[in-house]
């Protein structure tokens, strides 16, 4: 999956889960401090990403996610790890 495709799909999930206009989903935007995501929205985000990409974001992965760019990086990292296991 191409990086742009990952970002587009992840951005769509963030838009739905956080209820934030996509123009605010810039890479450096902080999920809690700037986009005002609460715990339920973050949970919806994780569940949406897991479903959209067929991955499993664990608690330790979530703890490292602060920005929109962190979301993209976490998804890419999990997709890469999944591809390696399947190879």
Residue 68 contacts residue 14 (beta carbons within 8 Å): yes
Report, as residue numbers or ranges, the catalytic residues: 38
Alpha helices by DSSP H, 1-87 = 3-18, 39-53, 59-63, 68-86
Q: How far is CA 44 from CA 39, 82, 83, in A?
A: 9, 22, 25
What one-character DSSP code corresponds to residue 87? -
């Amino acid at each position: 999956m191409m990086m742009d495709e990952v970002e587009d799909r992840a951005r769509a999930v963030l838009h739905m889960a956080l209820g934030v206009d996509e123009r605010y989903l810039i890479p450096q935007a902080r999920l809690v401090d700037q986009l005002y995501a609460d715990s339920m929205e973050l949970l919806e985000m994780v569940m949406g990403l897991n479903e959209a990409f067929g991955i499993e974001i664990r608690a330790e992965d979530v703890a490292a996610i602060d920005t929109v760019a962190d979301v993209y990086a976490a998804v890419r990292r999990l997709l890469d790890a999944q591809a390696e296991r399947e190879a």
